Amino acid sequence: MTTRGVRKRLDFNRAVEREVLRECVATALQAPSGSNQWALQFVIVTDPEIRAEFGELYRRCYERYRGFDGAYIGSIDKGSEELNRQQHRTTVSADYLGAHMGQAPVLVAACAVGRAEDGPAFAKTSLLGSVLPGMWQFMLAARLRGLGTAWTTISLMEEERTGEILRIPVDEVTVGAITPVAYTIGTEFKPARRPDPDDVIHWNGW
């Protein structure tokens, strides 16, 4: 309930121990995987030059994303003043990461071996579905250890460049999400406002 996308409260000045990251990966690997094939792989970047280069790419892609009316987080009308205030707070947070991604002490890319763009829905959902639950489990494990994360995909607007910078062969590997990882400034986070369960459940059919 309290694992939020953390951006403004990432402590850029504190290193994250490799052993702690290993523990988070161990938790991630308990997630489900299609045909029990263990496709999930992690690229964990601590090198300052690679992080800075990725930060520049993220900044450039974020600037493009800001122009996508209806998709940019700050262009979405949630329909009430209260919800729009929450949306605005998240926008300020996302904009901040747009400018500071490269300062996070660690970047983690969750990947799967394989590509499925030309395959049937079954192949696509199986491939991505073998990565995304593990990444979320990584993030929950990180939260338990005082670390903050923020799910991002924006740099994948330039997938090839993402692969070049992070040294990932994206012609044969699918990147599911990339997160900054850092200790959080303070550890208290609150549940976010979300729809009522009854508004999203379709009992016995859509």
Ligand X SMILES: Cc1cc2nc3c(=O)[nH]c(=O)nc-3n(C[C@H](O)[C@H](O)[C@H](O)COP(=O)(O)O)c2cc1C
Q: Can you give the binding site for ligand X, defined by CB under 6 A?
A: 4-5, 73, 90, 94, 97, 150-154, 192
Measured between alpha carbons, how far is 135 from 151 in angstroms, rounded to an integer? Answer: 9
The torsion angles phi and psi of 70, rounded to 5 degrees, stand at: 95, -15
Indicate the residue among 21 and 154 with the shorter CB distance to ligand X.
154
The distance of closest approach from Cβ of residue 163 to ligand X in the complex, given in angstroms and rounded to an integer, is: 16
Closest CA to 150 of 116, 125, 184, 124: 184
Measured between alpha carbons, how far is 188 from 166 in angstroms, rounded to an integer? Answer: 32
Indicate the residue among 25 and 110 with the shorter CB distance to ligand X.
110
The distance of closest approach from Cβ of residue 205 to ligand X in the complex, given in angstroms and rounded to an integer, is: 26
Indicate the residue among 16 and 150 with the shorter CB distance to ligand X.
150
The distance of closest approach from Cβ of residue 158 to ligand X in the complex, given in angstroms and rounded to an integer, is: 12
The distance of closest approach from Cβ of residue 38 to ligand X in the complex, given in angstroms and rounded to an integer, is: 23
Indicate the residue among 67 and 205 with the shorter CB distance to ligand X.
67
The distance of closest approach from Cβ of residue 19 to ligand X in the complex, given in angstroms and rounded to an integer, is: 26
Residues 141, 28 contacting (CB under 8 angstroms)? yes
What is the residue type of 57? L
Indicate the residue among 8 and 115 with the shorter CB distance to ligand X.
8
Measured between alpha carbons, how far is 58 from 106 in angstroms, rounded to an integer? Answer: 14
The distance of closest approach from Cβ of residue 103 to ligand X in the complex, given in angstroms and rounded to an integer, is: 14
Closest CA to 73 of 88, 54, 52: 88
Indicate the residue among 18 and 85 with the shorter CB distance to ligand X.
85
Residues 16, 106 contacting (CB under 8 angstroms)? yes
The token pair at 138 is 């990584």
Measured CA angle at 86 (ends 70, 184), to 5 deg: 110
Q: Using the 8-state DSSP alphabet, how is residue 37 labeled? A: -
